[in-house]
């Protein structure tokens, strides 16, 4: 539901297209086509099977588990951005969900009134006024830009998954994380219209802008009504 609304919002947010630079479009399109074939032949079928055989409550638990691990990255980046109060909130979320919430499987913190935030080092660089740079499509990983590409190693290091010592466990969790993320995007992909490459490129820049601004963007009445519909479903 959240992803559907976000994509609808992406279509409506007014961001000047001249802010998007894509000097490597030909190469990016080739990599996008490769990623698309890989997704169609491997990731999407696996994600569809995962959805069919896994009960909703179990999928929710998996989602909560990985979102809880992301609280580590979020907390540190809140500090780097000078948001100390929010950092304390997010650190508390991680502690509560990792203990009372059974290692993050249950989102107890939200029920307690601790609001969830999502921050990464790419957003921190943006707060530090580092420009996004050109659009880049990465093999296997998908959309990015120069700023986010540079931030990936830092955010990966700060994530709970990469801090694990057991290689087999780490690889298994990374694979499950990718599968869980792809499953949540199964419905959202039906919203893609027109040139898929351009849609995803523009959606990427605009969604990152939304995250950097912490959702403080103008959303019209139509989007507000659509948000209510998705929240009710």
Contact call for residues 210 and 202 (beta carbons, < 8 A): no
When divided into structural domains, the chain yields a total of 1
- Select the highest-mean-pLDDT range: 50-54, 82-86, 158-162: 82-86
Encode pLDDT of 128-171 as tens digits.
999 999 999 999 889 999 999 989 888 877 766 555 555 655 66
Structural domain of 73: 2-232
DSSP track, 144-157: EEHHHHHHHHHHHH
DSSP label of 143: E
* pLDDT higher than threshold 70 for residue 84: yes
Contact call for residues 9 and 194 (beta carbons, < 8 A): no
* pLDDT higher than threshold 90 for residue 94: yes
Buried b / exposed e along 76-107 (16+ C-beta atoms within 10 A): bbbbbbebeebbebbbebbebbbeebeebbbb
CA distance 86 to 103: 21
CA distance 163 to 110: 25
Q: Tell me if the pTM is above 0.85.
A: no
pLDDT number for residue 113:
92
> Residue 118 class from Cβ within 10 Å (0-12 exposed, 13-18 middle, 19+ buried)?
middle
């Amino acid at each position: 539901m959240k992803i559907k609304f976000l994509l609808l919002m992406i279509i409506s947010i007014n961001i000047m297209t001249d802010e998007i630079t894509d000097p490597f479009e030909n190469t990016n399109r080739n990599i996008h086509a490769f990623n698309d074939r890989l997704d169609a032949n491997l990731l999407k079928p696996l994600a569809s099977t995962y959805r069919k055989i896994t009960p909703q409550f179990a999928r929710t638990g998996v989602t909560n588990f990985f979102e809880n691990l992301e609280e580590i990255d979020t907390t540190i980046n809140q500090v780097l951005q000078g948001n100390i109060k929010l950092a304390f909130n997010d650190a508390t979320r991680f502690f509560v969900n990792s203990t009372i919430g059974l290692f993050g499987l249950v989102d107890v913190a939200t029920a307690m009134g601790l609001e969830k935030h999502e921050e990464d080092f790419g957003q921190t660089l943006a707060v530090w006024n580092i420009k996004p740079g050109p659009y880049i499509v990465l093999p296997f990983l998908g959309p990015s830009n120069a700023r986010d590409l540079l931030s990936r190693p830092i955010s990966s290091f700060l994530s709970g998954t990469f801090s694990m010592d057991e290689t087999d466990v780490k690889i298994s969790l990374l694979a499950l994380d990718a599968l869980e993320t792809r499953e949540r995007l199964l419905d959202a992909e039906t919203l893609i219209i027109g040139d898929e490459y351009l849609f995803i490129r523009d959606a990427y820049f605009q969604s990152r802008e939304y995250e950097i601004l912490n959702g403080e963007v103008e959303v019209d009445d139509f989007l507000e009504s659509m948000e209510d519909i998705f929240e009710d479903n």
